[in-house]
């Protein structure tokens, strides 16, 4: 028997409308001619597209055409996003030079001396070299100046930096990073008094920073050395992107959205999100978007989901893909490849058939950027990977970001911090930051064993600091208390049945505390256990990914199913609500009970549903159009007590308490259907957008 879920969130139906969010396509329009662009821009705009990502990677640069294409798009009310060149050859094409004119070898060097390119959606040159940086920043600035009407720029997309560059400037960057990270005069001299050096930490013998070599392939099999190199790459890459963004903002507007694309690398995402001039992240994978959105939210940065692929030939599957990412993205552009099934001959080449999946774009257009994720006031400090174990819809930051810059994020914004370590603490500066946070009343949840079991990347032993007042028990992963300052709580047992406290609670300051979680598999405990612990010690309800997740917008509700089928119940202040299922085109009038309404239909496991929800009483438009040719709208129309007026093209679904006397479109009477049971007025027609008047009389 299906249970009913009560979602404890507030539906803000009266909130102000959000500004138009990016909604559109990613396409290779940049080098199309003006005639084709003008034709297609009009078609796209009518379908709800307001943004186009004009991919230019690997294509010839044709400035007059680019400006003309953007002009055609802008004239139709469509904003444009552009790629920024990331290789010297692309810069040369942009500048109109012959290949090789700049005479810059922009290929990184691997540990064997072989030259290559960093992989992105195209190629990324050796950003460790000053000449490459200068040229790409120069071109980015010129690009921004030439395309002043642009919406924004993306620099790279989901880069793979491997082991970095072993060229001369790559080596210099590595040495500079080490000096800044270790804060010592030399690799062997402890000048800052922290009792550790680079030499002692990694078992090397270097006289000065200038003679410190990069790690070899064999060295990088060591997790600590690999971790240090990854931090250098994240820091260096973020610095490169920040420099390009600064040039773009200097040329146009500091608020222009500029940033880089991220896949599943939360270390890179955190480093980029913390940059001042990176004011937008680009998600390139629907699967990793929720995790990326957690990082972006922690730094107050929006995420544009760019180039999301729909499933050609399958509208239902495409709808599900789009619905599941709607809450997490400030805007979405869909990959246009394959969405046009057939074109005619001539100039322009007119579209004669769209793929069924294209309908997602007009159908869901009014919901772009409308939903907001209700995140509990908890920051997860995560390992440098994409997963956030046991939760979703939180705030998160990679541990490496705090190790690089403990001031990159203000912990006092959060009521609690979960330090999800799966390796020893990377830097004792993180410990200090968490201690200071607890002194101000914060609560920190920590893996008692793993956080202290080993050295920091600086080479300092974590044990005396994290294990103060406790020590390992007989079996790995279990701890026992040695101090009365640690208050035991709960009970767990090892495989032999030996009992240990589940938690050790250390009070800090007047209200703060560290809650040490005991056992070898802290982050693999049952979700309910973790949720109970956080609820008890912080009064916070963590999101349960096994349950349905419900997101509210202005006049609409979106739900994503959990592990079992559920009915969805939401708060409601009125006596009744008019509800419309956007995908199934089913309407209903729902009565409230104890301040709640139950939305019609069952939410199946792992599926998403979208409803328009409006107060019931006066006639109000619920949904119009959303066909292949015309964008949907959920504007309610204007009702003056006698007549409901609205504009639409093909379909309209109206909540109507009584059957109207007449319906006219463009001044001509029009046939309609009225469902007295659902109190739903339905009109279907063909033709251009026109005004409809629904007459009810006095």
- State the pLDDT at residue 7: 35
CA distance 526 to 416: 20
Q: How many CB atoms lie within 10 A of CB 263?
A: 17
Residue 456 has which token pair?
């920091």
CA distance 307 to 337: 10
DSSP labels, 482-498: -STTEEEES-EE-TT--
Closest Cα partner for 557 from 681, 375, 372, 377? 372
- State the pLDDT at residue 334: 96
- State the pLDDT at residue 149: 67
Strand, coil or helix: 80: strand
CA distance 324 to 320: 6
Burial class of 589 by CB neighbour count within 10 A (0 to 12, 13 to 18, 19+): middle
Q: Give the number of residues written for the chain.
A: 698
CA distance 579 to 344: 41
Residue 270 · residue 405 · CB < 8 Å: no
Residue 592 has which token pair?
């409230």
> DSSP letter at 593?
B
- State the pLDDT at residue 59: 62
Closest Cα partner for 692 from 659, 655, 665, 667? 665
Residue ranges per structural domain of the chain: 167-213, 378-538, 549-695
The dihedral formed by the CA atoms of 297, 299, 301 and 307, expressed in degrees to the nearest 10: -70
CA distance 202 to 459: 7
Strand, coil or helix: 403: helix
Q: How many CA atoms lie within 13 A of 153 on its CB side?
A: 35
CA distance 2 to 564: 8
- State the pLDDT at residue 285: 87
CA distance 584 to 604: 14
Distances (CA, A) of 427 to 27, 76, 214, 403, 466: 44, 53, 21, 6, 12
- State the pLDDT at residue 385: 66
* Sign, Cα dihedral of 549, 550, 553, 556: positive
pTM of the model: 0.92
- State the pLDDT at residue 543: 87
- State the pLDDT at residue 598: 96
- State the pLDDT at residue 321: 97
The dihedral formed by the CA atoms of 364, 369, 372 and 378, expressed in degrees to the nearest 10: 130
Q: What is the layout of strands, in order, in the sheet containing 673-675?
A: 620-624, 651-655, 680-684, 673-675
Spatial neighbors of 673 by CB under 8 A, at least 6 apart, are 681, 682, 683
What φ, ψ does residue 472 adopt, rounded to 5°?
-65, 145
Residue 610 has which token pair?
């979208």
- Under-70 pLDDT residues of the chain: 1-19, 57-61, 149-150, 385-391, 525-526, 698
- State the pLDDT at residue 171: 97
């Amino acid at each position: 028997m299906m249970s009913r879920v009560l979602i404890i969130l507030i539906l803000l139906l009266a909130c102000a409308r959000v500004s138009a969010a990016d909604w559109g396509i990613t396409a290779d329009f940049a080098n199309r001619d003006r005639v084709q662009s003008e034709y297609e821009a009009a078609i796209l705009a009518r379908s709800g597209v307001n943004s186009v990502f004009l991919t230019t990677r690997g294509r010839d640069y044709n400035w007059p055409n680019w400006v003309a294409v953007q002009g055609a798009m802008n004239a139709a009310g469509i904003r444009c996003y552009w790629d920024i060149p990331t290789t010297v050859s692309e810069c040369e094409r942009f500048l109109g030079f012959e290949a090789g004119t700049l005479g810059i070898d922009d290929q990184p060097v691997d540990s064997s001396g072989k030259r290559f390119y960093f992989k992105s959606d195209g190629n990324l040159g050796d950003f460790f070299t000053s000449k490459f940086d200068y040229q790409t920043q120069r071109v980015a600035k010129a690009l921004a100046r030439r395309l002043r009407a642009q919406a924004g720029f993306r620099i790279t997309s989901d880069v793979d930096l491997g082991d970095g560059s072993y060229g001369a400037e790559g080596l210099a960057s590595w040495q500079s990073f080490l000096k800044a990270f270790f804060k010592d005069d030399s690799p062997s001299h402890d000048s800052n008094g922290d009792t550790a050096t680079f030499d002692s930490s990694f078992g090397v013998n270097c006289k000065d920073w200038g003679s410190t070599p990069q790690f070899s392939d064999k060295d990088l099999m060591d997790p600590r050395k690999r971790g240090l190199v990854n931090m250098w790459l994240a820091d260096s890459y973020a610095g490169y992107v920040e420099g390009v963004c600064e040039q773009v903002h200097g040329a146009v507007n500091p608020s222009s959205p500029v940033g880089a694309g991220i896949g599943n690398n939360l270390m890179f995402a955190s480093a980029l999100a913390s940059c001042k001039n990176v004011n937008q992240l680009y998600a390139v994978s629907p699967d990793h978007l929720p995790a990326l959105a957690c990082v972006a939210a922690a730094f107050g940065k929006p995420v544009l989901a760019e180039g999301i692929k729909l499933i050609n030939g399958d509208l239902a599957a495409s709808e599900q893909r789009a619905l599941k990412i709607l809450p997490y993205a400030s805007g979405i552009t869909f990959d246009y490849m394959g969405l046009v099934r057939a074109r005619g001959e001539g100039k322009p080449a007119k579209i004669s058939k769209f793929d069924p999946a294209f309908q997602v774009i007009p159908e869901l257009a009014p919901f772009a950027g409308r939903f907001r994720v209700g995140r509990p006031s908890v920051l997860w400090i995560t390992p440098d990977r994409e997963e956030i174990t046991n939760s979703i819809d939180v705030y998160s930051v990679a541990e490496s970001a705090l190790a690089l810059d403990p001031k990159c994020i203000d912990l006092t914004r959060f009521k609690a911090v979960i330090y999800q370590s799966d390796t020893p603490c990377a830097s004792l500066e993180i410990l200090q930051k968490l201690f200071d946070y607890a002194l101000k009343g914060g609560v920190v949840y920590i893996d008692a064993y793993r956080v202290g079991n080993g050295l920091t990347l600086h080479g300092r032993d974590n044990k005396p600091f994290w294990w103060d007042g406790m020590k390992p028990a007989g079996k790995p992963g279990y701890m026992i208390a040695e101090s009365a300052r640690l208050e035991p709580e709960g009970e767990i047992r090892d495989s032999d049945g030996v009992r240990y406290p589940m938690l050790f609670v250390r009070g800090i300051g007047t209200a703060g505390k560290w809650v040490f979680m005991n056992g070898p598999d802290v982050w693999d405990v049952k979700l309910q256990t973790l949720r109970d612990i956080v609820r008890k010690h912080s009064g916070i309800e963590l999101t349960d990914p096994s349950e349905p997740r419900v997101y509210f917008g202005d006049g609409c509700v979106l739900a994503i199913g959990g592990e079992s089928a559920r009915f969805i119940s939401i708060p409601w202040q009125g006596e009744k609500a008019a509800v419309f299922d956007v995908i199934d085109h089913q309407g209903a009038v729902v009565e409230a009970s104890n301040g709640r309404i139950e939305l019609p239909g069952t939410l199946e496991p792992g599926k998403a549903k979208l409803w328009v929800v409006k107060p019931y009483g006066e006639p109000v438009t619920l949904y119009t159009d959303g066909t292949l040719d015309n964008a949907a709208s959920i504007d309610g129309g204007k009702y003056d007590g006698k007549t409901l007026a609205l504009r639409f093209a093909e379909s309209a679904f109206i909540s109507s308490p009584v059957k109207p006397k007449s319906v006219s479109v463009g001044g001509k009477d029009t046939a309609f259907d009225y469902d007295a049971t659902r109190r739903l007025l339905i009109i279907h027609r063909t033709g251009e957008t026109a005004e409809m008047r629904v007459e009810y009389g006095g």
